[in-house]
């Protein structure tokens, strides 16, 4: 049986198996205890924890309440997921779309038999075996393809990816949902490991990872570059084209150091240890000098990300069954405010007009799902496309005046995980109450 077979992987972790997909895209890992061989279930984790000086009296309660999302399960991220599992966190979400490769043996905490498998799934199986009581779920695809509320059930996020596009998406998601974020990174040539911590109070005043982007990083992002120590193989077996591929080179211990700095920042936040993080800060460790430094990170007023947090409302109703008027009311607006709002239906745009190569225009007036074909033009036979000036991700209410009381389903939406209602002062994310929560 090949090493990249799901059955072969599960055989290495005989008490773990992914059993169901959750509505936000995550796959939860189940655990079947076996008292004869199970050494992890029922461990007295509190008995191995120190009595912290000036620490909280409810240490285990706080650790049990941790729900951490780790984005990137590579050389840093897999150390991180192992450590979070050993803490006995209540929930752990792991996202990474890549596969392990032979080169991963040099920096990842894996065995030779674990080459060629999904990093996210491997990290999740390891974590579940270490901490059977924790809820563990994974997503073996790019973070950008997860729904807007994918981090809703996480109360802390750790970012350890080498993909600039994912960094931007995670940073924006944490700002929108008001989730504290720790970014772990390293610079091998200088033996520097670092953890950058970003608190989020929703005011929009704090810094984010993108605030520090230079012109070079924006240029690399525009070209779609992924910085990787092992290429661009994905869990789907394909390789994304890359204009350049600058490997992340490091001694393996530096990966562990970066992970440990991130875990320390997580615990300082969760357990309220030492001086509170005010806005954002960076902790650097330099292997040349053995010295650690701690410095604040300033908000960049020119950062293109939206720094204000969204309000989040959850409804039991299927979103496609609701009308624009219903959604506005859920978001707290009156009927008199309707013309001031806009609606953003996830995975959809609103097409007022369509066009084709013969320059013929036709009215449509409904939502179109991403990638949906619009049929052929009756005059020239060419495929119809969205009119670039009359297709909206955020639909102004003025385009929906006649449709305020028609359901989203009647307007072309078969299903959607979230709808964003933007008003003059704030934005509200409306999400369907999931049947299964991590």
CB 422 within 8 A of CB 344: yes
CA–CA gap between residue 249 and residue 80 (Å, rounded): 19
CA–CA gap between residue 136 and residue 126 (Å, rounded): 10
CA–CA gap between residue 207 and residue 168 (Å, rounded): 13
Stretch 291-308: mean pLDDT: 92
Q: Which two tokens stand for residue 58?
A: 């409810």
Residues 6 or more apart whose Cβ sits within 8 Å of residue 136 = 28, 29, 85, 91, 92, 94, 124, 127, 128
In a domain, 187, yes or no: yes
In a domain, 259, yes or no: yes
Residue at which a domain ends, from 238, 266, 296: 296
SS3 400: helix
Query: In the chain, pLDDT over 90 holds for what percent of residues?
Result: 58
Same domain, 287 and 415: no
SS3 420: strand
Beta strand pairing call for 427-432 and 311-315? parallel
Stretch 337-357: mean pLDDT: 88
In a domain, 139, yes or no: yes
Same domain, 111 and 242: yes
Average pLDDT score over the chain: 85
Confidence label for 215 from pLDDT (cuts 50, 70 and 90): confident
pLDDT value at residue 243: 36
The highest-confidence range among 36-50, 89-103, 201-215, 341-355, by mean pLDDT, is: 89-103
Same domain, 317 and 271: no
pLDDT value at residue 229: 45
Residue that the structure tokens 């073996």 belong to: 140
The answer, yes or no, to whether residue 407 has pLDDT greater than 80, is yes
Same domain, 371 and 278: no
Lowest mean pLDDT among 201-210, 316-325, 364-373: 201-210
CATH value at residue 265:
3.40.50.720
In a domain, 228, yes or no: yes
Same domain, 316 and 397: yes
Q: What H or E segment, with its residue span, contains residue 165?
A: helix 164-177
In a domain, 233, yes or no: yes
CA–CA gap between residue 388 and residue 392 (Å, rounded): 9
Same domain, 327 and 234: no
pTM for this one? 0.87
Question: What domain range is 397 assigned to?
Answer: 311-432
CA–CA gap between residue 405 and residue 420 (Å, rounded): 17
CB 200 within 8 A of CB 178: yes
CA–CA gap between residue 355 and residue 426 (Å, rounded): 34
Cβ neighbourhood burial of 305 (10 Å; 0-12, 13-18, 19+)? middle
pLDDT value at residue 2: 44
The answer, yes or no, to whether residue 384 has pLDDT greater than 90, is no
pLDDT value at residue 127: 95
pLDDT value at residue 23: 61
pLDDT value at residue 204: 67
In a domain, 38, yes or no: yes
Same domain, 350 and 255: no
Confidence label for 363 from pLDDT (cuts 50, 70 and 90): confident
* CA gyration radius, the chain: 23
One DSSP character per residue, 89-152 reads -SEEEEE--BB--GGGGGTSS--GGGTTSBHHHHHHHHHHHH-TTSEEEEE-S-GGGS-TTTTT
Confidence label for 245 from pLDDT (cuts 50, 70 and 90): very low
Cβ neighbourhood burial of 12 (10 Å; 0-12, 13-18, 19+)? middle
Same domain, 185 and 289: yes
pLDDT value at residue 42: 67
Q: Which two tokens stand for residue 244?
A: 């350049």
Q: Which of 107, 138, 106 is nearest to 122 (CA)?
A: 138
Same domain, 330 and 249: no
CA–CA gap between residue 212 and residue 198 (Å, rounded): 12
Cβ neighbourhood burial of 302 (10 Å; 0-12, 13-18, 19+)? exposed
Beta strand pairing call for 135-139 and 91-95? parallel
CA–CA gap between residue 10 and residue 15 (Å, rounded): 8
290: left (phi over 0), alpha (psi -120 to 50) or beta: left
Q: Which two tokens stand for residue 142?
A: 């790019």
Query: In the chain, pLDDT over 70 holds for what percent of residues?
Result: 84
CA–CA gap between residue 320 and residue 332 (Å, rounded): 19
Residue at which a domain ends, from 242, 272, 296: 296
In a domain, 303, yes or no: no
Confidence label for 241 from pLDDT (cuts 50, 70 and 90): very low
Q: Which of 420, 410, 434, 411 is nearest to 331 (CA)?
A: 420
Residue at which a domain ends, from 296, 319, 343: 296
Same domain, 244 and 191: yes
User: Could you tell me which residue, 356 or 339, shows the higher pLDDT?
Assistant: 339
Torsion (CA) 217, 302, 309, 72 in degrees, nearest 10? 10
Helices 252-271 and 77-87 pack at an angle, to 10 degrees, of 40
Same domain, 162 and 119: yes
Same domain, 86 and 199: yes
In a domain, 437, yes or no: no
Stretch 316-324: mean pLDDT: 95
Stretch 12-21: mean pLDDT: 66
Lowest mean pLDDT among 42-56, 141-155, 168-182, 329-343: 42-56
As for how many domains the chain has, the answer is 2
Q: What is the DSSP letter of 160?
A: -
pLDDT value at residue 83: 97
């Amino acid at each position: 049986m090949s090493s990249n077979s799901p059955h072969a992987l599960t055989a290495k972790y005989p008490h773990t198996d992914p059993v169901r997909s959750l509505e936000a895209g995550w796959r939860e890992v189940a655990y079947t205890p076996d008292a004869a061989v199970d050494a992890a279930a029922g461990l007295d984790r509190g008995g191995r924890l120190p009595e912290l000086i000036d620490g909280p009296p409810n240490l285990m309660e706080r650790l049990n309440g941790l729900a951490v999302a780790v984005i990137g399960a590579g050389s840093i991220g897999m150390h991180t997921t192992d450590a979070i599992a050993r803490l006995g966190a209540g929930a752990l979400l792991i996202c990474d779309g890549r596969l392990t490769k032979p080169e991963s043996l040099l920096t990842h905490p894996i065995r030779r038999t674990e080459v060629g498998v999904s990093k996210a799934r491997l990290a999740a199986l390891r974590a579940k075996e270490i901490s059977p009581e924790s809820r563990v779920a994974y997503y073996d695809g790019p973070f950008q393809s997860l729904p807007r509320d994918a981090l809703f059930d996480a109360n802390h996020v750790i970012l350890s990816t080498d993909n600039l596009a994912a960094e931007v998406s995670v940073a924006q998601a944490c700002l929108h949902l008001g989730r504290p974020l720790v970014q772990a990174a390293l610079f091998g040539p200088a033996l520097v490991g670092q953890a950058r911590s970003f608190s989020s109070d929703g005011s929009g005043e704090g810094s984010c990872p993108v605030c520090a982007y230079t012109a070079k990083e924006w240029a690399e992002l525009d070209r779609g570059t992924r910085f990787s120590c092992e290429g661009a193989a994905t869990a789907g077996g394909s390789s994304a084209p890359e204009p350049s591929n600058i490997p992340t080179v490091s001694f393996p211990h530096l990966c562990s150091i970066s992970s440990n700095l991130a875990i320390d920042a997580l615990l300082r936040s969760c357990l309220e240890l030492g001086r509170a993080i005010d806005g954002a800060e960076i902790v650097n460790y330099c292997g040349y000098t053995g010295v650690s430094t701690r410095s604040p990170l300033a908000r960049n007023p020119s950062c293109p990300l939206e720094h204000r947090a969204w309000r989040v409302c959850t409804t039991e109703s299927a979103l496609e069954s609701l009308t624009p008027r219903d959604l506005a009311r859920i978001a707290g607006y009156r009927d008199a405010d309707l013309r001031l709002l806009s609606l953003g239906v996830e995975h959809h745009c609103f097409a007022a007009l369509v066009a084709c190569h013969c320059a013929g225009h036709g009215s449509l007036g409904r939502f179109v799902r991403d990638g949906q074909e619009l049929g052929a033009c009756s005059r020239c036979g060419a495929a119809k496309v969205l009119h670039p000036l009359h297709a909206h991700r955020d639909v102004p209410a003025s385009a929906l005046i006649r449709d305020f009381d028609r359901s989203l389903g009647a307007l072309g939406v078969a299903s959607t995980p979230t709808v964003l209602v933007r008003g003059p002062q704030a934005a509200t994310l409306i999400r369907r109450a999931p049947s299964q929560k991590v």
